[in-house]
Amino acid sequence: MKNVLANDGISNSGKIALEKNGFNVSTTTVAQDQLINYINKEKISVILVRSATTVRKDLIDKCPDLKIIGRGGVGMDNIDVEYARIKGIDVINTPAASSASVAELVFAHLYSGVRFLHESNRTMPLEGDNNFKGLKKSYANGIELRGKTIGIIGFGRIGRETAKIALGVGMNVLVYDKSKEDIDLTLSFSGNKTLNFEIKISKLNDVLKNSDFISLHVPAQKSFVIDKKEFDLMKDGAGLINAARGGVLNEVELVSALDSGKLSFAGLDTFENEPKPAVQLLMHPKISLTPHIGAATNEAQDRIGLELAEQISDILN
């Protein structure tokens, strides 16, 4: 059977590409506890997920018709990848398709933080008509990103796209990655113009101590990458962005650092307790918030859908 369940959705272009190759595509969202029954009843051979649906050992064991597990995006921590492969199931993802979109969201949070957009967008509807001058004064001490230093922790595809934007903005770039050596980056511009940059890998402590802003680009971890020790090493007034994975930073220590003034702001797209982030984060005036939308652009979703369709067709056709 060539039945595909895109349980967390798929772009229309990806759906059309699959259908042209003879696949039946369902975009029904099936509850996690009903997924095994649905897959077996509908004889699903391919399940596509993003971050909302998990594919663990029990599902793999109880769904013998499953041939492919596809992840629309980069991280596959919601899939028991090695176990699935041992069972003869292909596990695929789209690591490059959403890199630019996530990197752009990082800078959306950065600009929001340095110009107080996350705060002013909350207070203007409440006080803009009676305290305009007061708000203007409150948000008058913004800073420019140009000339500042961004520290990028994790230098995979998304980290590199983040570095490219930073270089284009005129920032200095420091990078830490425990598994990579110095890397050459090429920035592409309109008119087929390019510029090449050599990015040297620094020690983690040096990145933390010397960066005005820190951006995390690491996979899910068993322990915090950023904990109290790392917060203490950061510059006073630094900003921190996490558009990687929830659980890579200690959220309790983050709130403490913001409350003490150690950090000036944070931008969070991912949270330790998704889909119910801690209320202390949601209500904090110094945090710019998005609901895990790093890859959620039309362009990225088209690339993801088409890339998944191509991989599935290559495997099963």
Backbone φ and ψ of 173, nearest 5°: -120, 125
Residues 243-253 have pLDDT tens digits of 999 999 999 99
**Is 274 one of the annotated active-site residues of the chain?**
yes
Domains and CATH numbers, the chain: 3-94+298-316 (3.40.50.720), 99-289 (3.40.50.720)
Query: Which residue has better confidence, 260 or 77?
Result: 260
pLDDT-derived band at 193, boundaries 50, 70, 90: very high
Edge to edge, the sheet with strand 238-242 lists 172-176, 149-153, 213-216, 238-242, 263-268, 287-289
Instruction: Give the pLDDT mean for 43-63.
Output: 96
Residues 206-235 have pLDDT tens digits of 999 999 999 999 998 899 999 999 999 999
Query: Residue 120 pLDDT more than 90?
Result: yes
- Cα-to-chain-centroid distance, residue 136: 32
**Is 253 one of the annotated active-site residues of the chain?**
no
Query: Residue 21 pLDDT more than 90?
Result: yes
Sort 193 into a burial class: Cβ within 10 Å, 0-12 / 13-18 / 19+: exposed
- Cα-to-chain-centroid distance, residue 213: 17
Query: Residue 139 pLDDT more than 80?
Result: yes
pLDDT for position 317: 87
DSSP letter for each residue of 126-187:
HHTTT-HHHHHHHT-----STT-EEEEE--SHHHHHHHHHHHHHT-EEEEE-TT---EEEEE
- Indicate which residue of 245, 251, 284, 303 is catalytic: 245
pLDDT for position 282: 98
Q: b/e for 102-115, b at 16 or more Cβ within 10 A?
A: bbbbbbbbbbbbbb
Q: Are 24 and 42 in contact (CB under 8 A)?
A: no
pLDDT for position 133: 98
Mean of per-residue pLDDT scores for the chain: 96
- Max Cα-Cα span within the chain: 66
**Is 127 one of the annotated active-site residues of the chain?**
no
pLDDT for position 1: 63
Taking the whole predicted model, whether its pTM rises above 0.85 is answered as: yes
End-to-end CA, the chain: 12
Query: Residue 180 pLDDT more than 90?
Result: no
Which H or E run includes 61?
Answer: helix 57-62
Residues 160-178 have pLDDT tens digits of 999 999 999 999 999 999 9
- Indicate which residue of 50, 71, 292, 303 is catalytic: 292
- Indicate which residue of 104, 127, 272, 274 is catalytic: 274
Residues 142-163 have pLDDT tens digits of 999 999 999 999 999 999 999 9
Instruction: Give the pLDDT mean for 20-46.
Output: 97
